[in-house]
Structure 1
Amino acid sequence: MRIKTYVADNIQEALYKVKSELGKDAIILQTRQIKKGGILGFFSKPKVEVIAASDIVQAPKPQLKPISYEMPVRENSRELEDIKNEINEVKDLLKSLSAREIYRKSLGDLPPPLDEVYKELSSAELEQSLIDKLIDGLKSQVAEDGLDKSAVITCLKNQIATMIKVTEPINFTEDKPSKVVFIGPTGVGKTTTIAKLAAVYSLNMGKKVGLVAADTYRVGAVEQLKTYGDLLEIPVEVIFEPADASRVMKKLSDCELVLVDTMGTSPRNKMQIKRIKSLIEMVKPTEIHMVISVTTKAKDVYDILESYKELNYQKLVFTKLDETNSYGLILNAIIFSNCSPSYLTAGQNVPDDIEVASGSKIADLILGGCS
């Protein structure tokens, strides 16, 4: 494990240094206020000192085959499985391209504005069925009214916006804390998103916020959330086992908003998903938000949404918008899950780089390349 100390004028600058040098998976071990500079102890300026660490990935131990006098067998099950997966991906791609070509032929020659927009929607990685629906909705209108590209884009944005159900990102209850649980795979940004929301609601909106760390599997995850809690001066409690939930929630009963960070897991790890479900049943949340990185492959996103379905999530948070230029996956996931989007995030800055999701914003992202 690599450990380094950083000194900066404020926490945002310090965290930027950490992420720039140690990477986005760096772990915050300790944060404290110090004074530096001055003369004989006078005129010193307050600084923030952050101690961070990153795991060093060791090379995998080579697999040695036992000595054998038999002819070596070339067949390797793992390699064959990888090859099969690649072949299936190529087949899916060819099917998709074939479907697109068939659809294009059925359309005939599209008017120039629609033809250009069709290509833009395809490059945004929007599902073919959604592209078909959007284009079909505009064909007659373009033919009758002679719309130019600007007018076509405006109509498309309105169509996309109306396809998205928008609700309050977080609903507050009057007589008890609003308890919001965040779920999702490892590395999608759950902890950072929770820190941003805690800062927004406590600093900007004056809400009494409590944090709960239930991700006791990832090294440093609890410490990272506690660091944010110390900086924001809000309570942080830890759940080691689902049975701890009642005690922890009772301690935070005077909060208006409780944000719960859960462990990340592969959608194929059914046992871990069951464990998260047990935790949720004990917490009894007001709502559950699924966190999705927009850099994830579309097929993997569908697998994630399907595998986590038994957790009954109601809203979607989309992260890492700054790491891609294709945003069709956002609408794909919304339509597939039949859920409302709650927040969009684009970076590591706390409490910045987060925005309440809206139909118009998502439409602008998807059609951002059109001009």
Structure 2
Amino acid sequence: MSQPKRFTASSLREAYQKVRDELGGDAIIVSTRKMLAPGAVGEPARALIEVRARLAEPSDARSDSTKAHDLVRDMAEEAATGMPLDPAIELAPALLNRRVDRGKGVGASRAGDGRRRAAADAAFEIPVALLASDGSPAFASLAQRVDQISTLVEAIAMERMGERSKQSPGLHAAHEQLHEQDMSRAVASAVLARVESMLGRDVGREAGLRALADAVAALLPPPVSLAPAGEPRMLVLVGPAGAGKTTLAMRLAMDLRRRDLRVTVASTDVSRAGAPQQLEAMGAALGVPVRLCYAPDDAARLLAESASDLVIVDTAGHMGGRRDRHAELSAMLRSLPDRDVLLTLPATMRAADQRVAVEAFAPHGLTGLVFTRCDETDRLGAAAGTAIEAALGVAFTTHSDQVTEAPRPGDTRSLASAVATGRWAAADAAMPARRALARAS
């Protein structure tokens, strides 16, 4: 097997053209990545795209290569519009198989499709995006490769959107701002497509950023409102270790108790060294009742026996890889018919890690999201993108390390504006956490 060669360029299209010029249209793409190249003395580093590719070997199944080429080319055509691929199309095996097997039993429509593809190919043809594998057939693991192909397509979509944005100062400003926001390409493409539909070519930077805020706000799910009124309820906080669940529980409890609601904080994090003692000491210092739950049904028993309007459960933190923790959480939730589950994530966490956490905890029936440490980052695009992708509203955000400061209720407009400006607006003193706990029945 030939050794891969390395190609660098300022854009994905340019890099692929270098691959085609040197290795031909049947080249095997091994990997693609972004990189920074040192600038000249006194100049900033330059962002480049690196593509590693190798010559096709006779052992590479040509039929599979053709299928891969057709699949990527078709997906790239969709990306040329600047719109994100529908998740159902990206992930549904039946639809993917239909694309791959398009040469079987297709009648007159095939000719039309061929003419349509030929026009696109004349402008831009991608080398065979067939990722090398350890001797396995090209499509032996189609599901694993869908994500890689989708990433490629999203990169093409964003690149073409970037080219179109140069024709409009407003769209260019929105594109540049999103580029700094750590928002996934799929969500960013949807946001920019909406911005593009709202703006004309002669619109300036400020109008472009306002349109960006409007577009993000339109895509964000409505804020989550919780209702403790009536029967006692349970609010369960889940998420990775260090996300701020314990502090959040205390902040919520203090704010609600100041407004004459009876609130107890319970914890299932009883096996970590020092955790129970830390929680009890914090509760004593802040005047918040604290209980420890050692068995899955302890929380349900506490809810039934206490006189609390709301019991906030602080669970043991993990990123989702602990099966024992998932089993414990599932057992507890099964005993709680009236409960809300909030996934607590630091706004400083990378978008990719936030998505991992959402996927890990989604089977537990998430009600919404909480983003902590919003004051510690100017890249709120990760939080907004996670909420949009997961279709989960934001219940609360925190903006200080002061445990006495109440969490802010979820606010799509504030989050969207933070994405567009890189900073969160100052708090409204009249926005207690109770507002998020006052949903009409």
Judged with a 3 Å threshold, the aligned counterparts in structure 2 of structure 1 residues 138 and 206 are, in CA distance, closer, same or farther, namely same
Residue in structure 2 matched with residue 335 of structure 1 by the alignment:
388
Partner of 1:134: 191
In 1, the alpha carbon distance for the partners of 2:264 and 2:308 equals 6
Q: Which of 199, 215, 222 in structure 1 is aligned with 2:269?
A: 215
1:97-176 matches, cutoff 5 A:
97-105=155-163, 107=164, 109-143=166-200, 146-174=202-230, 176=231
Query: Could you say which residue in structure 1 is the equivalent of 2:414?
Result: 361
Which residue of structure 2 lines up, in the alignment, with residue 324 of structure 1?
Answer: 377
Identify the residue that residue 240 of structure 1 maps to in structure 2. Answer: 294
Within 1, Cα distance between the matches of 2:299 and 2:261? 22
* Matched ranges for 1:158-307 at <5 A: 158-174=214-230, 176-203=231-258, 205-252=259-306, 254-307=307-360
How many angstroms apart in 1 are the aligned matches of 2:197 and 2:151? 30
CA displacement 1:207-245 (0-9 Å, x = unmatched): 111111111122222222222322343322111111323
Measure the CA separation in 1 of the matches of 2:232 and 2:366.
19
**Structure 1 residues 353, 122: closer, same or farther in 2, change over 3 A?**
farther
Pair 327,167 (structure 1): closer, same or farther in 2 beyond 3 Å? closer
8 Å CA contact 1:265, 1:273 repeated in 2: no
- d(CA) in 2 for partners of 1:210 and 1:112? 53
Between the aligned partners of 1:228 and 1:281, the Cα distance in structure 2 is 29
Q: CA deviation at 1:94?
A: 8.7
Report which stretch shifted further, 304-313 or 243-252: 243-252
What amino acid is aligned across from residue 389 of structure 2 in structure 1? F
Could you tell me how far 1:126 is from its partner in structure 2? 1.7
Alpha-carbon distance in 2 for matches of 1:273, 1:225 = 22
TM-score (norm 2): 0.58
Secondary structure of the corresponding residue to residue 290 of structure 1: strand
Does the 8 Å contact 1:184/1:291 carry over to 2?
yes
How far apart, CA to CA, are the structure 1 residues paired with 2:300 and 2:174?
Answer: 53
Residues 154-184 of structure 1, C-alpha deviations (whole Å, 9 max, x = no match): 222222222222245422231x212100011
Structure 2 partner of 1:22: none
CA offsets, 1:74-121, max 9 Å, x none?
xxxxxxxxxxxxxx9xx899946555324434x373311211221111
Is the partner of 1:172 in helix, strand or coil? coil
Superposed CA deviations along residues 106-143 of structure 1, whole A, max 9, x for unmatched, are x3733112112211111011222222223222334422
In structure 1, what is the Cα distance between the partners aligned to 2:298 and 2:217?
Answer: 42
- Residue in structure 2 matched with residue 310 of structure 1 by the alignment: 363
What displacement does 1:189 show?
A: 0.7
Q: By how many angstroms is 1:347 displaced? A: 2.8
Structure 2's unaligned 5+ residue stretches are 1-144, 424-441
CA contact (8 A) 1:213 1:261 kept: yes
Amino acid at match of 1:331: A
Letter in 2 for 1:166: P
- The CA distance in 1 between the partners of 2:419 and 2:324, in whole Å, is 36
Q: Residues 343 and 368 of structure 2 are in contact (CA less than 8 Å); yes or no, is this contact kept in structure 1? A: yes
Is there any run of 5+ residues in structure 1 with no aligned partner, and where?
A: 1-87
In 1, the alpha carbon distance for the partners of 2:411 and 2:245 equals 20
**Amino acid in the other structure paired with 1:222:** P
- Relative to structure 1, the CA distance from residue 249 to residue 325 in structure 2 (aligned partners, 3 Å threshold; closer, same or farther) is same
The change in CA–CA distance for 1:263 and 1:119 in structure 2 (over 3 A counts) is same
* Distance of 1:284 and 1:108 partners within structure 2: 50
- The one-character-per-residue Cα deviations of 1:48-98 (angstroms, maximum 9, x if unpaired) are xxxxxxxxxxxxxxxxxxxxxxxxxxxxxxxxxxxxxxxx9xx89994655
| Residues 125, 168 of structure 1: alpha-carbon distance in 2 compared, 3 angstrom cutoff | closer
Q: Is this contact kept in 1: 2:187–2:389, CA < 8 A?
A: no
Cα separation, 2, equivalents of 1:318 and 1:131: 20
User: What CA distance in whole angstroms lies between the structure 1 residues aligned with 2:421 and 2:330?
Assistant: 38
Quick check: 1:211–1:237 contact (8 Å CA) kept in 2?
yes
Task: State the TM-score, normalized to the length of structure 1.
Answer: 0.68
* CA RMSD across the alignment: 2.5
In structure 1, C-alpha distance between the alignment counterparts of 2:149 and 2:396, rounded to whole Å: 31
CA distance in 1, matches of 2:289, 2:422: 43
User: CA-to-partner distance for each residue in 1:274-322, whole Å, 9 max, x for gaps?
Assistant: 2111112223342110101122222221111111111111110001223
Matches within 5 A, 1:17-56: none
Pair 1:295–1:150, CA change in 2 (3 A) = same
